[in-house]
Chains A and B, each alone.
Chain A
Amino acid sequence: DAGITQSPRHKVTETGTPVTLRCHQTENHRYMYWYRQDPGHGLRLIHYSYGVKDTDKGEVSDGYSVSRSKTEDFLLTLESATSSQTSVYFCAISEVSSEKLFFGSGTQLSVL
């Protein structure tokens, strides 16, 4: 998966708990993205980063925050998980803006 590692691969948590998902890349790409995928909604952008400490909101950012302290790592945090955040989360990277995205293997998150 293009040198992208997501962790954990699966997580079950309880409503109200904080959760952090990690995306690690070895490609030295500038742009990193977090998407969620749900039946009936397809892939939707949560947040993206265009450099270290440079992030912006996507289409469905409420309830999520991100951080990027190093080029290779992009963290997605659910401050207080809700059942509506049960989803498959994909990290993606691209070398330049408006170009091809490559995806990680995904994290299946279940919030009970």
Chain B
Amino acid sequence: QKEVEQNSGPLSVPEGAIASLNCTYSDRGSQSFFWYRQYSGKSPELIMFIYSNGDKEDGRFTAQLNKASQYVSLLIRDSQPSDSATYLCAGWNNAGNMLTFGGGTRLMVKP
């Protein structure tokens, strides 16, 4: 079992809808989590990070962390075709020396 798990998708949503991306992790000691967006053929780009339980909002993006249930989610409001990409969830291990990535969820936003 991977330490960070994501549904590979594709997740298809219509333009203007809310896209909900989920991630679970197995290392209870993990403290900080990150969401990266990766367009095809490009490098991962950091879009959100969250360290505490609850919600963190930045523009159209909201990251949610629930340490008791060991899941992290990313909500994208008013989804645009330009949001179509693969979204990678990542968390640091308890030792703090390895950022482990999930396999990514491919999001498709249809006009």
> Would A103 and B43 count as touching, CB distance under 8 A?
yes
**Which 10 pairs across A and B sit closest by C-beta, in order of nearness?**
A98-B96, A42-B103, A43-B101, A103-B43, A98-B92, A42-B101, A103-B44, A97-B96, A106-B43, A105-B43
Shortest A81–chain B CB gap in Å is 22
Chain B interface, number of residues (Cβ within 8 angstroms): 22
> Would A43 and B97 count as touching, CB distance under 8 A?
no
CA distance A90 to B34 in the complex (A): 17
Identify whether the interface residues of B are mostly helix, strand, loop, or mixed: loop
Task: Indicate whether A1 reaches chain B with its CB closer than 8 angstroms.
Answer: yes
CA distance A48 to B92 in the complex (A): 14
B34 contacts which chain A residues (CB < 8 A)?
100-101
CA distance A89 to B49 in the complex (A): 23
- Interface mask (A13-47 → B, CB under 8 Å = 1, otherwise 0): 00000000000000000000101000011111100
CA distance A97 to B99 in the complex (A): 10
Shortest A77–chain B CB gap in Å is 21
Task: Give which listed residue, A1, A42, A58, A106, contacts B98 with CB less than 8 A.
Answer: A58
Given the interface contacts A98-B32, A100-B34, does A45 sit within 8 Å of B44 by beta carbon?
no
Contact residues, B59-111 vs A (CB, 8 A): 88, 90, 92, 96-104
27 A–B contacts, CB within 8 A, in A order: A1-B43, A42-B2, A42-B88, A43-B88, A45-B99, A45-B100, A48-B97, A48-B98, A50-B97, A56-B97, A58-B98, A59-B98, A90-B43, A97-B96, A97-B97, A99-B32, A100-B46, A101-B46, A101-B90, A101-B99, A102-B46, A103-B43, A103-B44, A103-B45, A104-B43, A105-B42, A106-B43
B42 contacts which chain A residues (CB < 8 A)?
105-106
A41 contacts which chain B residues (CB < 8 A)?
103
A43 contacts which chain B residues (CB < 8 A)?
44, 88, 90, 101
Contact residues, B1-56 vs A (CB, 8 A): 2, 31-32, 34, 42-46, 49
